[in-house]
Amino acid sequence: MTLDTSSYLMAPGDSYTIGTFLKDENGDALTSEQIRELIDTGKFKVQDSRTGSIFDLTQLANGNVQVTGKNEGVAYVLYEINGVRASVKITVQLDVAAQGQAVRNTIYWK
């Protein structure tokens, strides 16, 4: 699993999509159907560390995650795939220009 963001700053009402790239053991990108199966079987989980009080979280069919700022504060998007964990820090503040820390954070799983 590779995440394209390590942290993001946004204002309430702003939306941002975190790129989440899942590959198999051969390095081939998983299809939307394969990702949906991982989600449905509980092998791939994405959740909000503050249960929706700071931002709304939507897990998209392609594995990406969209966050929309709600209230000021800091929370994390928590990823877990087959017991391996990663996170992305989301800060919501009034009157800020949206900006993020781009990375290629790769987590290996089986």
pLDDT at 46: 93
Q: What are phi and psi of 19, to 5 degrees?
A: -70, 125
**pLDDT digits 0-9 by tens, 34-79:** 988 998 999 999 999 998 899 999 988 888 999 999 999 999 999 9
Q: Residue 80: which domain range? A: 2-106
Q: The CATH number of the domain where 62 resides is what?
A: 2.60.40.1080
**pLDDT digits 0-9 by tens, 97-110:** 988 888 776 766 65
Number of domains in the chain: 1
